[in-house]
Amino acid sequence: MPELLRCGNPGDCIRFHLPPPFQVLRSHTCGELRKSDVGSPVTLCGWVENKRDHGGAVFIDLRDRYGLTQVVVGPPEASDAMIDSAGHVPAESVVLIRGVVADRLEGKVNSKLDTGEIEVRSEHFEILSVSQTPPFTPGQSDLPGEDLRLKYRYLDLRRKEMQQALIRRSEIIKCMRDYFAEHDFIDVETPILGRSTPEGARDYLVPSRVHPGNFYALPQSPQLYKQILMVAGFDRYVQVAKCFRDEDLRADRQPEFTQLDLEMSFVDADDIIGLIDGLVARTAKQVLGKDITLPLPRMTYEEAMRRFGSDAPDLRFGLEIVDVTPVAAKTEFRVFRGTADAGNFVRGIRVPGAATQYSRRQIDELTSYVQQDFGAKGLAWFRVEDDKTLWSPIAKNFEPEHLEEIRVLLDGEPGDLLMFLADTWEVTCKGLSGLRKRLAVEMKLFQPGELNCSWVTEFPMFEKDEESGRHVAMHHPFTAPLAEDLPNLKDSPEKCRAQAYDLVINGSEAGGGTIRIHDSEVQSQVFELLGMDEETAQDRFGFLLDALRFGAPPHGGIALGVDRWVMLFAGLENIREVIAFPKTQKASDMMTQAPGEVDADQLNELQLRTVSVKT
């Protein structure tokens, strides 16, 4: 057992022994001691959570990431100088305590603390680092604004909630690594500095000093590298990969993010989905103690949009979308009839028991919500009365038999509220999807901590870009079409469905993958369809096309958003709460003030200069 020399005040050096496993400054953590340790000599290190002066004895709550222990600095163990020093130590200072574990006095046990039955009677008190008055303290109940928390992130990370989130993140990543190691995956690191191959979000570019005028790009994903690994014969690849996308941010997005990335050879979509089913069940059980029924439910993209208006439907509650366009076409209500006649849609949801919960003013607020956030023209609604008739200010514009048809289509019961949008398919999808999510939160239609996982499959392979009018890949240009849709690739690409699959957890996309194109001719055909001529395709992706010509196995994979998984498993709504040092919604680091200007000498070395561009 090593002997360590510690000095408190000048000239006051003491020697003491530290038992394993902590052969460092401390013998125990602040969350470790129990009643069975009473009488034991211990050494603790940590931060001063708070202190209380009880007239000749100072009580300190000492904190580290493991917990909190009450320390008493007072007679007969402590000298007057030690008591005075303890009484003046500022909060958040770092101290070392050496003393003996004792029972708390009768009536002073704190049942809320794991260490609540004991206290440490200090024989030595040493200040390791004095803290200035912090802008906020980790223990305060009223948190400051997020900007201040991010600026002083090191203080924010001392909070128990933040530490628990990062510990959970570590547990989830370990669970993932262990799971794939058991399934014979090889962990391979792929480059951070690569070639810019624009096919989605903007790249982050890195200028090259050695090759003036040329740039590396930070990877949006390891997509191309992992396909090359399949061609190279590494049939099971996995990596916890850092990825970068220069795009507008939301609460659940970051410019740099982490994904669990994997690829497999000689598989189809069912193989990959089944593998991830097992990971979901393992993680839920190991991290949350929850049992997940397998296989996870699946629905096609078409079904998801039809029933829920979203390709990432939240299945923790109902409020399914129902199409009433055929009935609307028969009514005399101008809005419904006109929408149907124009080839658009009238679709609605049934909100059970909401008729008495939502006033006219609240419904008006919902109307403004779908108008402002989703571009809807308005929100029509009916209340189901006790006799099952429908009442609404617009009900006079409908024949009774048409109202009854609508009620039957939505299974309306007395007390229900029926809400409708009349618009294009896209607007009704987005508006009703947003409306059902908002209503579910307001009406508490799901339990906190509930975990619902499912798959959405068979996405369209292409979608039309509104500005250019050309086809763009819905996932990425390396996605293979369903075998039965391959003949449509040349003449009817809009009919092609992709061998694509997204994992959805609680209405958020938690992962997405595809079976890849492994035939160079098909890949070239897709590039051409996307408006990429042969020269451009060769310049950007020549190495991939070459690789596909040298014996490429059928392969596919998936990328799981680690940040998103942690956020969802922790029951949080902001992804910045599960990242140690996140960026703001403007992609800046409040703590380090990144991005920042660089010296002129650095720009000169890179043969770059900055110019002001009017936008």
- Which letter does DSSP use for residue 9 in this model? S
254 labelled ligand-binding: yes
476 labelled ligand-binding: no
516 labelled ligand-binding: yes
d(CA 71, CA 96): 11
DSSP string computed for 522-567: HHHHHHHHTT--HHHHHHHHHHHHHHHTTTPPPEEEEEEEHHHHHH
- Judged by DSSP in three states, 203 sits in coil
DSSP string computed for 168-201: HHHHHHHHHHHHHHHTT-EE----SSB----SSS
Instruction: Tell me if 48 sits within 8 A of 61, measured CB to CB.
Output: yes
Instruction: Tell me if 238 sits within 8 A of 185, measured CB to CB.
Output: yes
Backbone angles phi, psi at 67, to 5 degrees: 155, -155
Nearest residue to 297 via CA among 289, 287, 307, 285? 307
Q: Beginning with the edge strand found earlier in the chain, give each strand of the sheet holding 321-323 in spatial order.
A: 321-323, 345-351, 417-423, 380-384, 390-391
Instruction: Tell me if 70 sits within 8 A of 153, measured CB to CB.
Output: no
d(CA 101, CA 541): 67
Q: Cα-Cα-Cα-Cα dihedral of 47, 52, 58, 64, to 10°?
A: -20
Question: Given the DSSP bridges, would you call strands 3-7 and 13-17 parallel, antiparallel or unpaired?
Answer: antiparallel
Beta strands in 219-315 (DSSP E): 236-244, 256-265, 298-300
Compute CA distances 352 → 46, 318, 358, 512, whole Å.
53, 10, 12, 33
DSSP string computed for 212-230: TT-EEE--S-SHHHHHHHH
Nearest residue to 523 via CA among 306, 227, 241, 301? 227
555 labelled ligand-binding: no
The gap from C-alpha 298 to its chain's centroid, in whole angstroms, comes to 21
- Which letter does DSSP use for residue 116 in this model? T
Burial 444-461 (b: 16+ CB within 10 A, else e): ebbeeeebbbbbbbbbbb
106 labelled ligand-binding: no
Compute CA distances 86 → 47, 50, 104, 583, whole Å.
13, 11, 19, 38
247 labelled ligand-binding: yes
564 labelled ligand-binding: yes
Compute CA distances 71 → 51, 60, 96, 182, whole Å.
9, 5, 11, 45
Instruction: Tell me if 534 sits within 8 A of 524, measured CB to CB.
Output: yes
Binding-site residues sit at 199, 245-247, 254, 475, 509, 516, 561-564
Binding-site residues for ATP sit at 245-247, 254, 509, 561-564
Binding-site residues for L-aspartate sit at 199, 245, 475, 516
